[in-house]
Structure 1
Amino acid sequence: MLTPEQFFGFLLAAVLITVSPGPDNLMVLGMGISKGRRHGVAFGLGCALGCLSHTALAVVGVSAVIAASPMAFSVLKIVGGLYLIWLGVQALRSRGSAQVVRDGLGEASLRRLFFKGVFANAINPKVVLFFLSFLPQFVLPARGHVGWQMAQLGVVFTLQAAILFSLLGLFSGVIGQWLHKAPRIGLWLDRVAGAVFVGLGLRLIVSR
């Protein structure tokens, strides 16, 4: 099982990253605004559950690296840390200009929107790379069962994303108006997420 430090540290980072403006949560907002709350929730749940496919790929990939060479795992974490720093710098430099995207579909069933969310998230190569970089940062190799630790972290990420995306869809109208009236909120959310990314990357490089 995850230690309390692992769980709460990862949960805090995951929440900050999930709420920062990005393609997934902006599409959930747009879906809720243009089609209604239930449609936004359905699409958001699909996007969240799509993270499970990335978790599985990360578990298999990292487990293969460890089997090949324990040193390779350290290299993977360092490379991942550098990637997270790069993402953080990009977020810190952003102008917070992301706009809520309204989906162009006509009438769509809730089931169709749910699976569209799953598919849109599952085929995104950037999310695959993110999971390969992000999850290992919270793994404690000394505790063993690295693959199981990563699987638990992936489930935690998926659950918090499902809750937050559902809330975005449910309150999409209010949140959309709020962001429209105060666009700088998106800027500061990007700044917070950027600081989290950079902090995680630096923590890894300094500690190893």
Structure 2
Amino acid sequence: MPDIAAEFLSMEIIAVAIITVLAVISPGPDFAMVTRIALARGRRAGVLCAVGIGSGVSVHLAYTLIGLGVLLASNVWVLNSLRYLGAAYLIWLGCAALWPDIRRFLVRMNALKNKDVSANTATSLPRPDQSRNRSSFWIGFACNALNPKTMLFIVSLFSQVISPGTPILQEIGYGIYIAACHMVWFGLVAVALTLPSVQARIAAIKGWIERAVGLCLAGLGIKLLAS
């Protein structure tokens, strides 16, 4: 019996390890968010965003470990509330990425109506990321904490893959591993995107990449609302 239990436990650990890695590296809002933050604010901000994403997992882990995960996931109003909040947040972030272009367009339109407005006004506007006192960490944290797919992933993992008889300390260890995987993977993404060689290659299209990521975030939010 001890041998069977040990074998089952080892299979459980392997399953959690593989499923987590596959879930983390799959494209989604977190990947798009780290890409935008790293390109717009630099490596340090991108890594802080990655740490925030990993920390956001702790929200889902907390209520799952105390037994509320299945209860919350089975309530439609909870899932819908989280879906609406997450979708609104993604749409807002997407619009924020596109706001410099929108603002320049509005200023140019205003300049056409008011001849005394300098034509250079549109180009001297600060980027929202430079003028707003926002934290990259909390942006990443909110992106993951408000993601209903992360909630369903954590709840499904702990209810279907992890045995009810697994010791609580081991479950906490799983949680730390899941959070660490998010931090490491998205931290590597941020570092890779800010390498000098990569920056040199994408310098000419950096603005377009940010716009594409903004559209992607807004599109994911709209898709989440429609799902």
Q: TM-score band (shorter)?
A: 0.5 to 0.7
Task: Note the C-alpha offset of 1:39.
Answer: 1.1
Q: Distance in 2 between matches of 1:63 and 1:43?
A: 25
Q: Distance in 1 between matches of 2:96 and 2:175?
A: 27
1:168 and 2:189 correspond: yes
Distance verdict in 2 for CA 1:64–1:44, change over 3 Å: closer
Q: Which runs of 5+ in 1 are unaligned?
A: 66-75, 77-100, 181-208
Return the match for 2:174 from 153, 163, 169: 153
Q: Distance in 1 between matches of 2:14 and 2:172?
A: 16
Aligned to 1:131: 154
Specify the SS of the correspondent of 2:13.
Answer: helix
Task: Note the C-alpha offset of 1:108.
Answer: 7.4
Distance verdict in 2 for CA 1:23–1:144, change over 3 Å: closer
Question: What is the TM-score with the length of structure 1 in the denominator?
Answer: 0.56
Distance verdict in 2 for CA 1:40–1:139, change over 3 Å: same
Query: What amino acid sits opposite 1:49 in the alignment?
Result: S
Bigger Rg, which one:
2
Q: Distance in 2 between matches of 1:14 and 1:162?
A: 12
1:40 and 2:61 correspond: no
Task: Note the C-alpha offset of 1:138.
Answer: 2.6
Specify the SS of the correspondent of 1:61.
Answer: coil
Q: Which runs of 5+ in 2 are unaligned?
A: 1-5, 75-93, 98-127, 206-227
Give the percent of matched residue pairs that are identical in Structure 1 and Structure 2: 25
Task: Note the C-alpha offset of 1:161.
Answer: 1.0
Confirm or deny: 8 A CA contact 1:28 1:165 kept in the other structure.
Answer: yes
Task: Note the C-alpha offset of 1:27.
Answer: 1.0
Task: Note the C-alpha offset of 1:110.
Answer: 9.9
Q: Distance in 1 between matches of 2:60 and 2:166?
A: 21
Task: Note the C-alpha offset of 1:57.
Answer: 1.0
Deviation by residue 1:64-89 (Cα, 9 ceiling, x = unmatched): 87xxxxxxxxxx9xxxxxxxxxxxxx
Q: Distance in 2 between matches of 1:159 and 1:102?
A: 30
Number of matched pairs = 143
Aligned alpha-carbon RMSD (Å): 3.5
Confirm or deny: 8 A CA contact 1:46 1:115 kept in the other structure.
Answer: yes
Q: Where has structure 1 moved over 6 Å in runs of 4 or more? A: 108-111, 174-178
Q: Distance in 1 between matches of 2:51 and 2:44?
A: 11
Distance verdict in 2 for CA 1:139–1:103, change over 3 Å: same
